[in-house]
Structure 1
Amino acid sequence: MNFPIDIREEAGVRTLHFGSDWIQGAMRIARPWRLELDYTREMMVSLLLRNDARFPRKVLLIGLGAASLTKFLYRYYPSAKLTVVEIEPRVVAAARQFFKLPEDPLRLNIVIADGAQYIAGNDKTYDLILVDGYDADARPGELDMLPFYQMCQASLNHNGVLAVNLLGRSRGHQASVERIKTAFNERALALPACDSGNVIALATNGDKLEIPLHKLKEQALELKEKTSLNLSPALTRLEQTKSCFGGMLTI
């Protein structure tokens, strides 16, 4: 892959770019563990879908960027083992040099590989899979194809959760959501696009999920007390989806 990697700073925020103004990741220098970008916060709605103190114990992240999701989970979920698959070694080097990516081989395994090829050749299973992989032109390639989503479904444990950043491409995200629904037997939803245009899709394995919205809000408050992450705006927008009816989230 041949693209420049640029690091910029403005108003206390350091950003990662692949040779364009498109932000590939961001970190507030004074609070490096904080999820600075809206879409990264929305991907953490996945943490609310399983009310289990042991969730998640095994996490696969495809796409490293500025390591925002990796650092958040590393800090606040100390019992979780994280595997991060990043195709470009220079991104890993930049994350270590500029974005405080931790060095901890016992809890954090960084793999230089193509995400689709890695999951195809790997028989491990995970509680949570987070997909946020794009090239310099904001194209996901194989990471937005039905076979890849089917492999994600097969790589999740019973009651596992998938979260995907779909970027809200100009042609729309609906085709991507339909592929995820196909792979997960309709057990998926998409949050309404956030201000940046990103669309987060969530999918679940295992038993049918039915959670009262008030319970989700209680869990979100507990998460906020633990991490300072405020998911209330995301839950408000989740209520706008067809998966919420009669005060119940059903996937």
Structure 2
Amino acid sequence: MSQSSIDVSEEAGIRYLHFGSEWVQGAMRIRRSIDLELEYTREMMFGLLLRGGFTAEAKWPKRILLIGLGAGSLTKFCYWKLPQARVTTVEIDESVWAAASFHFKLPPEDIRLSIVIDDGVDFMTRPGPGYDYILIDGYDEDAKVGLLDSLPFYQACWARLNEGGMLATNLFGRSRKYGPPLKRLSEAFEGRSLALPQGESGNVIALATRGAEIAVSLTELRERAVQLKAATGLDLRPTLKRLEQSTTLQDGALRI
């Protein structure tokens, strides 16, 4: 089992997690501990705009899987802001779980939240339940992901997605050369993938889906973004502005 050197720092009301290096592995604004502080974590939740799932009455997503805990930001958001969902987070290093619990207000496990100490690749390649939303954000102290960026792993993710399910993965560290991982993801998902425009942090979030084509107009995305912010506090309107200025949209719509 991997063992990371865990460092925690604070600056200007924000607490940061490091794995013994300069790379920020997670962040929490102390006075707003559930909000997604880092831009890329907010964009990892972009699937909510595509599926419209951000209210207690929504049917999607009911089951969420996260690979990589970090400071627990995405786990906390999914647990607190999406009460219809059961959340499972797989983390290879038990010391990361301890740090997230002690320093970053990770809630204890209950009927809706499970923390599994395991290798993410091993977890995905074993038989198990299906998921509606899979979020992949597993990095070591050198900002490397290993086999979490491999064709067999992406194929295993496809197999574990329910019909209409979505995957989001953080391509940080590969943002200047994200073509190869995006090609692997596209192959595993039969061409059903895309990359959001690169953000200020240098991260690129890639999305992939299984099932019928998703096509949502920019106008509808803007309306959903307003509703999402009202329901959860998550503001994805800056991402939509970048989308509008990019070549990602087709005939004024996002298709995947």
Question: Could you list the per-position Cα deviations for residues 147-179 of structure 1 after superposition, in whole angstroms to 9, with x for gaps in the alignment?
Answer: 000111111000000000010427511111111
Superimposed CA distance per residue, residues 83-136 of structure 1 (whole angstroms, 9 cap, x where no aligned partner) = 000000000000000000001321100000000100111321000000000111
User: Which one is further off, 54-63 or 161-170?
Assistant: 161-170
CA distance in 2 between counterparts of 1:182 and 1:242 reads: 21
Q: Percent identity?
A: 54
Q: Give the letter aligned to residue 33 of structure 1.
A: I
- Taking the aligned partners of 1:82 and 1:75, their CA distance within structure 2 comes to 10
1:167-178 alignment runs, 5 A limit: 167-169=172-174, 172-178=177-183
CA contact (8 A) 1:191 1:241 kept: no
Corresponding residue for residue 93 of structure 2: 88
Provide the residue aligned with 1:39 in structure 2.
40
1:41-100 superposed Cα distances (whole Å, 9 cap, x missing partner)? 111111111135111110000000000001111111111000000000000000000000
Counterpart check, 1:27 vs 2:32? no
TM-score by length of 1: 0.97
RMSD over equivalenced CA pairs, Å? 1.2
Please list, as runs of the form range in 1=range in 2, the aligned pairs for 1:1-251 lying within 5 A after superposition.
1-52=2-53, 53-169=58-174, 172-251=177-256
Q: Distance in 1 between matches of 2:30 and 2:11?
A: 10
Using the TM superposition, give the Cα deviation of residue 247 of structure 1 relative to its aligned residue in structure 2, in angstroms.
1.1
What is the alpha-carbon distance in structure 2 between the residues aligned to residue 215 and residue 147 of structure 1?
A: 35
TM-score, normalised to structure 2, is: 0.95
- Unpaired runs of 5+ residues, structure 1, are none
CA-CA distance at 1:242 after TM superposition: 4.2
